[in-house]
Structure 1
């Protein structure tokens, strides 16, 4: 199957026009008309993921994070990015990324994470000016209010989290939950305006936990942890539309952040 036949399916769900200006989603290594036999889905392109691709005969690796964000001036294996890109080219492995376009697509990343937590009645937290159905983050409701600690524990169990960083538990119970996968500190004000009892995201800084009026609780679950659902999401998009193409979920997508607990 040609690469463009596969990427067309992804881009119907998450058009590249949805990506942010700083992003580099799309086909990074390879040509649209190249023939590929099998795809491997991962969060990042790493040496371990490429090892797996070679072992499993996957000549296309589809990730959430683009391995290249900035122009490369040389390919001499001086760092992990150069090494992996050079290796992919040499071994004939195409690399494709579905990043902020997947974040902002209707039914995309935040929608998937919310569903995993049992949050319904979803709407976009920060809609785009062009289309209110497109944008970053979601806000929705639990079927019934839960004690805040109980919700945090449930979230920890369902997502397999080692740790959850959070602000003071100023709400004894929560029902309206806002969330944004990845680094979502920039949506704090939108979460506040939504009337959320709790905002779930990642990559919060020290001062982000110091809410001036104690209006709601914020919880940082980790960047990788919030975006691991990309693998399952892309798998479903491809499996429902390409019944005869082999797609494998990587078993070697790993969190670069380690916790000493």
Structure 2
């Protein structure tokens, strides 16, 4: 298998189009056509991780965080980022990052936290805006089912757990072919009236080109009439953070101790306890201060995240308990998620969980 083959499998889980605009995801180092001997999965790509890949004879590193984030202007080995990139290139090792593409996946970082903590029925906390589009098109009545089937095969018409979703109306379409046209039906220079089906389907924004290609391939018209619009509907499949419920409610102290144990956290920084039972829990791996208002709106009893600043703790406003358990701690199980996913997708292939320590924060 090549690097390109592996990354295609990863994008089924977390399409790069779902990443945030500020991020740097995808293949950061290496040739997409290189044959892969083995995969090393890590949270961060540091020098010790590259050394581990070399020792294991793995030439593809799948990293959650991107080692190259704000760009490189030179490669002199003057900092850890440059040294990592230089060592990877020198040893013909490719590096691929997933970061916010996996953050925004319904089966990604936050789903894994929910799994570890036993949070049931998790839903996306902050759906990603502008990710649902609608295609409206028109086809002759005898072609309508063929066109719809092609659109469905390309990924259109998927709503949550349902597929092949569409809405159709019958009506009359008119057109007149010009002198240079080559019409499938109708005569040049004459207005033609055709009984057509008005087809509407929604789709996830990253599939737009493949859906249009399917439409053009399936349709018989020389010029296919269609419209695409962006919907404001909430997307239940793409977005960051999750909120769900515990199987059994707990006291606040009991729950925070439970989180500390399950998430291997050395410290839990939290706001004032409210003397309430904990049943509904919101989670967001990594820096999640921006989601405090969303957690309150979702009626969470506790919001688990990291990197909260002093004044951000005040935003709890006695409506919920904020629990900061550490950046690494919220994301550490992402490695396990990726190893499990790749092992199922490509069994009998060398996929290793990195044993290198990459957490830069120590506790006394």
Name the TM-score class by shorter chain: over 0.9
Matched, 1:237 2:332: no
- Contact persistence 1:9–1:237 (CA under 8 A): no
SS of 1:210's partner is: helix
Number of the residue aligned with 2:280: 176
Could you say which structure has the larger radius of gyration?
2
- Contact persistence 1:88–1:94 (CA under 8 A): yes
1:244 CA displacement: 2.7
Measure, in 1, the Cα distance between the counterparts of 2:2 and 2:12. 16
1:94 CA displacement: 0.5
Measure, in 1, the Cα distance between the counterparts of 2:264 and 2:25. 28
1:168 CA displacement: 0.6
1:71 CA displacement: 1.6
1:208 CA displacement: 1.4
TM-score (ref. length: structure 2): 0.70
Matched, 1:207 2:311: yes
Which range is displaced more, 19-28 or 209-218? 209-218
Measure, in 2, the Cα distance between the counterparts of 1:3 and 1:253. 25
What are the superposed Cα offsets for residues 74-122 of structure 1, whole Å, 9 maximum, x if unpaired?
A: 0000000001101100110100011100011111110110110011111
- Contact persistence 1:53–1:61 (CA under 8 A): yes
Measure, in 2, the Cα distance between the counterparts of 1:213 and 1:109. 27
SS of 2:352's partner is: strand
SS of 1:169's partner is: coil
1:212 CA displacement: 6.1
SS of 1:40's partner is: strand
Measure, in 1, the Cα distance between the counterparts of 2:125 and 2:357. 28
Number of the residue aligned with 1:81: 81
Measured at CA, do residues 192 and 41 of structure 1 come closer, stay the same or move farther in structure 2, by a change above 3 Å? same
- Contact persistence 2:46–2:358 (CA under 8 A): no
- Contact persistence 2:292–2:315 (CA under 8 A): no
Number of the residue aligned with 1:8: 8
SS of 2:296's partner is: helix
Measured at CA, do residues 96 and 212 of structure 1 come closer, stay the same or move farther in structure 2, by a change above 3 Å? closer
1:180 CA displacement: 0.3
Number of the residue aligned with 2:40: 40
Number of the residue aligned with 1:70: 70
Structure 1: 5+ residue runs without aligned partners? none
1:36 CA displacement: 1.4
1:158 CA displacement: 1.1
Matched, 1:30 2:30: yes
- Contact persistence 1:42–1:253 (CA under 8 A): no
SS of 1:257's partner is: coil
What are the superposed Cα offsets for residues 230-259 of structure 1, whole Å, 9 maximum, x if unpaired?
A: 101111111111113210000113210111
1:45-194 equivalence runs, <5 A: 45-129=45-129, 130=131, 131-194=235-298
Measure, in 1, the Cα distance between the counterparts of 2:274 and 2:7. 45
Matched, 1:225 2:332: no
Structure 2: 5+ residue runs without aligned partners? 132-234
RMSD of aligned alpha carbons: 1.0
1:172 CA displacement: 3.0
